[in-house]
Structure 1
């Protein structure tokens, strides 16, 4: 009975919104049929073009060096805008547009203009600082180190660590058949949007603690709401689930919105049980978080708007492009409802106050964005058989003269917004027309002139004179680009590049690891004494374990990929590093030291044989390592001698580190002491892997210094992660027992700093390592992804 009441109430709310959408559509329909929008918009465009049609002068021939760079070159583009004096206008229209679209503001408000100018000043200051200081190829907020540095300034490090882990988990669970980059982009965009919403509502009177609390809540709310895009909208739009699975999944979502409680998953009848279990768990937590953070007076509005959004999406989703009898109302009413409610939900989620006219503006504005987005995605939607006003018109416009032209309706919406919603405000006209022309320019650039002209021949043929004016603006108008589009392009490019680099990183590890594994086995010459044969067998036993081989892999990548050394020439160096590392593990595991029972998923050497054999095997491997280094005969003898001397020094450092570690057992160490121990135990080995190939390549001292700095922080981050895994890891994944430090009463980063403090320490060294990379004269993607692997690994 309760469910039925809730359903009745939700349906009533939907019908009310539907009636409003029908009235809005009827008004737009009349404008399109009567073409009354043409006269008004022609006048608007004639006024608008004065600021956007620039006639070239002969002086421009002499200023070729100042020409507009490709916007994909983010920092050069921002610098060009600043140099040419265009940055202020660029940011003005960009920020104004966000205030209209996302915040539902009217631009004729003095308070709104004051806020816009304040945001513009802040963004401009940030852009000019970042373009002069940042050497990376993307904005700071698109790299993890930049985001973490921001979190430190705001006092929300733990929150950002939480959301970084969440985003990584979501990324790993997006299945094939869905656009992973777009899904991540939408989720990140929503999080950033909610953060901006909340920051907009705060002023200088808000205390630092309260600011941190609100930002923490904004990030969690943004993630919780943003999850609906990849795991509801995108999932249901994809072809991943069967019809039956989609019905079952949709029923579960609908029930949650109607009852305010997420139902149990129950028996899932499809083939994607593991994926759905993960999604159900994440969405359940997200739903509860949003619900718990709603004010009592906004909770009902949130559920109603969410139901309107989901139900209108559902109606649209089940449309079939082969069905030829959809009415105009059936095509457009759900579009109006879903586009408006999606904006209204966002404000409801954060409980933001509504100023007068907010709901009206937001309701009428939504379809403008939706029609622009559908136009941009028309080719893809047509290929996938999706029903949108554009795809449906493309398929049936020759058969059905009653169909309203969505492109004409789009201009009708623009006219309605300018004159009916924003009361012919000049600023609103400027921003809306800027955005419209920018959308057409971007579409033309993306699909090419031929395809663009073909589409315009279909959609813009109803009023030739007005169309000629539009096409002239598309061809000649300038200064209509937007910052959010720049960031969108940058984010998509970054996510795609990052995904490709990550794939290359793991492929490289897999391929090089196999090559190294084939090179490590120590052969037994014919006729050697039995005792030496046993020693070699013991060494090979330790070498054959399931080792990650990160150190020699790192050396191979630096030597071959970065410095261009011959792969076969550095094989002895790769062997020596793994022999040294394996020897150190054998010594670490001895009863007199760490007394470990398993290593690399197998029994430790002293357990298989005895401590004496293990000690002798470790010494044997060290001597083999020196012998391998001395056989680097394709390099300058003086360089090889320097490398051996450096290697001996690093071996001494590692011995000292292990001695320091043993001496510290049962003692309470300071953070500084622990950093020193773990660098000498772990960091020096990473340093050697980076520096040795650089020495063979005779790299500059400044580059070697940067590599050493990177290795120092990478080594500490690696050890902190080890300590975290010792507390939270899985023995089956790690290949060694967990909780050893706790059982042995040894100081580690978790015992000194606590779990949260250790996480912060790891991310601090992550940032320092990534910042050291920027000092290198080359962009080494492998090292960036190695750092990501180190802090995100589960073994």
Structure 2
């Protein structure tokens, strides 16, 4: 090991020893409080003062408010509206924002500067909540959808970083093994990113220029992702059963080596069965590690490595504990908990290279175990099932055998007392927030497990202090106004992620099923006795139809027609055929030497390569006529409606021809963005419009809905084309089924050539947002369209 490595090792070991000694002293103080029960008298007085604001006796005023009962918190918008209506929103936000400043930012609440900042944040959040709840009819908060997130990014000038992290989060999600909870992994990662952003925002003042603010926020997003990645791909992975014991040892050794030497070791020979997963993780973590290192100041780099080592090593000590081992000491159970819970938050400031703040360091160190014990209490049933060692699971298993074991529930209250009086100097707001949080945690746990299971746990954990416990349980039953905005968002996010995953799965299954059905309907049969030349045209048409097409257009028509408009599936089969025949014909013409001169399409040779240009041209014309014939055979619908549909279809076909002519005319010319949008709409957007409008016409929906669909189709078509242009320069030929770089070879103007890759990506997301906003005007279920848009901008082919 060379000198620099020894330096890192020495610093890491020294840093751990210093932190461990501090944790030992802290634990000794807490232990003394538990043994002597000194916290009981102090906290009883605190709770008696606290409950004045939380135990509300019924009054005659309640009679008039019965019509406005408290809604379920899962109904996000109605719940916020209720808080505002009842005058509770200000206090709700006050304790919620104060808690974030205390927990995430390590602030003392009795600081005038902190109070000024808190009130400013409250004002901003309240304004946003009132506006969004009055204007937004969706179940989820606006910022939990990609369009809302991107709109925020545009306001801050950080579109590039936001696009980057959206792609990263999607990639991480797709690599989470099925044995792990993908929704929880995403939530933790997003939470860390938000936490880092909050720290960076807190470090800035009004004097920071918009450009500098954007630069710091861009950096914060990337640093947050880089640090947050350790949660799903180190902590959660090592805690799961994905890796074997040997793989865990090998993986842990690699992580430890990176922290001790300051560089990520090569992966080398991996002896387990998870090679592909580990290769991906190694690549992502290596990039993340290097990014954090690059953004460290020389004077903070040592702190970063020390704190990271404390976090990992204390986690590792906890991780290898075995619940069957009956002789762990209290120190062995609690010291790692103190270290990992404090260091995980201390790392954040070193990650962003923030200046030293002794007050933050002290408060965060003592605060961490408060959250950790609350989390361990909430998770103890699952932890017990998984055989994980926490203070709660260990006490549950061995409290009858070992009288020396500290009751973690009692220690939890001792921590609360220590925080209120020793760390936050008996500050009234600190007491309010800490006790609010404690009671809220018990209420949520009781609601989740049920009264019977809750009482069973209390018999075990709270029996040592009957009088104090009666007071606690009275508060759990009666106290009100102890809920928090971050918990509301947490629940919303978990629900959103799980629902989104379920909807995506349903979308993909629908896509796959309908695509298969459409593929089975496309083949053109050859009647007996037809001329040989017509048979050759049919064979040529079927060759083009049999390619690996996405079938987005007829799939969209089927979903809208059958699922949304209630049309009979068999009745619209001719329309589905006509759309794919027309689309395939347009591709045959596009690929001709006189136009784009393409050699492959849909994973196989283009038609003119297999036959010749004349056959390709005639086949394209043949498919167009077949499409018209299919539309004319829509015999289960009103004749006037079908005639109007054919007229509309003919007009759209004219528009598509004009779009292709405009595209060909633009070769070698530098188009403006406006001109390119026009070409793109006529080439691509018109087809999306048709597959939405035609089933709507058959269902005879209102013109206002058709107008909204056209608006959606315009932006969706452009977003789709921009993604095509991006794939042309960054895609994989094997996935695309056609060569990449074709536009450049043909000297075609496209979004990438005009705007560059970064600019084109921003433009795609702008049209994505406009399309999603247009969907709000469509008065029916648009889940499929939402996921279609997500698919269109994230596809790899």
TM-score, structure 1 as length reference: 0.99
Match of 1:379 among 371, 378, 381: 381
**Whole-angstrom distance in 2 between the partners of 1:300 and 1:7:** 11
Cross-structure match for 1:585: 587
Where does residue 482 of structure 1 map in the other structure? 484
| Comparing 219-228 and 166-175, the one that deviates more | 166-175
* Equivalent residue number for residue 422 of structure 2: 420
Give distance in 2, aligned partners of 1:156 and 1:102. Answer: 23
Distance 1:437 1:329 in 2: 27
Q: CA deviation at 1:717?
A: 0.7
Pairing partner for 2:404 from 393, 402, 408: 402
Q: In 2, Cα distance between the equivalents of 1:39 and 1:67?
A: 37
The residue number in structure 2 matching 1:291 is 293
Q: Which residue of 2 aligns with 1:178?
A: 180
Aligned to 1:83: 85
Give the corresponding residue for 2:413.
411
Contact 2:296 2:351 in 1 (8 A): yes
Aligned to 1:312: 314
Whole-Å separation in 2 of the counterparts to 1:444 and 1:638:
63
Q: Note the C-alpha offset of 1:355.
A: 3.8
Cα distance in 1 between the residues matched to 2:669 and 2:13: 66
1:44-96: per-residue Cα shift (whole Å, max 9, x none)?
11110000011122442342221111111111111111111111101110111
Give the structure 2 partner of residue 113 of structure 1.
115
Are the equivalent residues in 2 in contact too, given 1:706–1:773 (CA < 8 A)? yes
Equivalence for 2:715: 713
1:268 is displaced (CA, Å) by 1.1
Give the drift of 1:617. Answer: 1.3
Tell me the CA shift for residue 136 of structure 1. 2.7
Pair 1:332-2:334 in alignment: yes
Matches of 1:354 and 1:105 in 2, distance apart? 13
Q: Judging changes above 3 Å, is the alpha-carbon distance between structure 1 residues 409 and 169 closer, same or farther for their aligned structure 2 residues?
A: same
For the Cα contact (< 8 Å) 1:136–1:774, is it kept in 2? no
Write the mapping of 1:240-251 to structure 2, written as runs, cut at 5 A: 240-251=242-253
Mapped to 2, the partners of 1:303 and 1:755 lie a distance apart of 36
Alignment of 1:532-611 (within 5 A): 532-611=534-613
Checking the alignment, whether the CA contact within 8 Å between 1:381 and 1:387 is kept in structure 2 is yes
Please, which of 683, 694, 697 is the counterpart of residue 695 of structure 1? 697
Gaps of 5+ in 2: none
Secondary structure of the residue that 1:104 maps to in structure 2? coil
Displacement of 1:533: 1.3
**2: CA distance, partners of 1:312 / 1:343:** 14
Q: Which of 199-208 and 352-361 deviates more?
A: 352-361
> Is residue 528 of structure 2 the alignment partner of residue 510 of structure 1?
no
Change over 3 Å in CA distance of 1:552–1:261 after alignment to 2: same
- The Cα of 1:351 is off from its aligned counterpart by 2.1
Q: CA deviation at 1:225?
A: 0.6
1:444-496 deviations in whole A, cap 9, x for unaligned?
11111111111111111111111111111111100000011011011101100
Number of positions where the alignment pairs a residue of Structure 1 with one of Structure 2: 795
> In the alignment, what sits opposite 2:795?
793
- CA apart distance, 1:525: 1.4
Shift in Å, 1:392: 0.7
In structure 1, distance between residues paired with 2:677 and 2:84: 44
In the aligned structure 1, how far is the partner of 2:47 from the partner of 2:543?
Answer: 79
Match of 1:148 in 2: 150
Write the mapping of 1:9-158 to structure 2, written as runs, cut at 5 A: 9-158=11-160
SS in 1 for 2:618: helix
**Distance in 2 separating the partners of 1:328 and 1:428:** 28
CA distance in 2, matches of 1:4, 1:611: 71
Contact 2:752 2:759 in 1 (8 A): yes
1:728 to 727, 730, 736: 730
2:706 is matched with which residue? 704
Could you tell me which of 361, 364, 376 is aligned with 1:362?
364
Q: For the residues of structure 2 that align with 1:196 and 1:586, how far apart are their CA atoms?
A: 53
Aligned counterparts of 1:399 and 1:556: Cα–Cα separation in 2: 66
Map 1:517-536 to 2 at 5 A.
Answer: 517-536=519-538
Offset, 1:601: 0.9
Match of 1:672 in 2: 674
Matches of 2:138 and 2:391 in 1, distance apart? 42
Q: Distance in 2 between matches of 1:87 and 1:338?
A: 34
Does 649-658 or 633-642 show the bigger shift? 633-642
Output the CA distance in 2 between the equivalents of 1:241 and 1:630: 60
* 2-structure distance, mates of 1:356, 1:268: 43
Question: Matched residues in 1 for 2:779 and 2:67: separation?
Answer: 25
Partner of 1:357: helix, strand, or coil?
A: helix
User: Residue 149 of structure 1: SS of its match in structure 2?
Assistant: helix
Give 1:456's aligned residue: 458
In 2: Cα distance, 1:739 partner to 1:485 partner:
48
Q: Distance in 2 between matches of 1:688 and 1:429?
A: 62
Unmatched 5+ residue regions in structure 1? none
Matched, 1:644 2:642: no
Report the CA distance between 1:741 and its aligned residue.
Answer: 1.2
Q: Is 2:444 aligned against 1:442?
A: yes
Q: CA RMSD in A?
A: 1.2
Q: Distance in 2 between matches of 1:200 and 1:697?
A: 54
CA distance in 2, matches of 1:667, 1:107: 62
Supply the distance in 1 between the matched residues of 2:105 and 2:355 (Cα, whole angstroms): 10
Q: Is the 8 A contact 1:148 1:157 kept in 2?
A: yes
Q: Which residue of 592, 608, 624 maps to 2:626?
A: 624
Superposed CA deviations along residues 341-371 of structure 1, whole A, max 9, x for unmatched, are 1111112111223445221111110000000
SS at match of 1:506: helix
Partner-residue secondary structure (3-state), 2:65: helix
C-alpha distance in 2 between matches for 1:626 and 1:745: 34
Aligned position for 2:688: 686
State how far apart, in whole Å, the 1-side matches of 2:767 and 2:158 are: 17
How far apart, in 2, do the equivalents of 1:196 and 1:661 lie?
A: 47
Q: Once the 2 structures are TM-superposed, how far is the Cα of residue 141 of structure 1 from its aligned partner?
A: 2.0
Distance 1:792 1:547 in 2: 17
Please give the alpha-carbon distance, in whole angstroms, between the structure 2 residues aligned to 1:644 and 1:347: 64
In the alignment, the residues of structure 1 paired with residue 689 and residue 636 of structure 2 have an alpha-carbon distance, to the nearest angstrom, of: 23
> 1:5, CA displacement in angstroms?
5.0
Cα offset, 1:749, TM superposition: 0.7
Q: CA deviation at 1:35?
A: 1.1
Do 1:654 and 1:682's aligned partners in 2 also have CA atoms closer than 8 Å? yes
Distance 1:509 1:57 in 2: 57
Whole-Å separation in 1 of the counterparts to 2:702 and 2:479: 50
Give the 5 Å matches for 1:136-285: 136-285=138-287
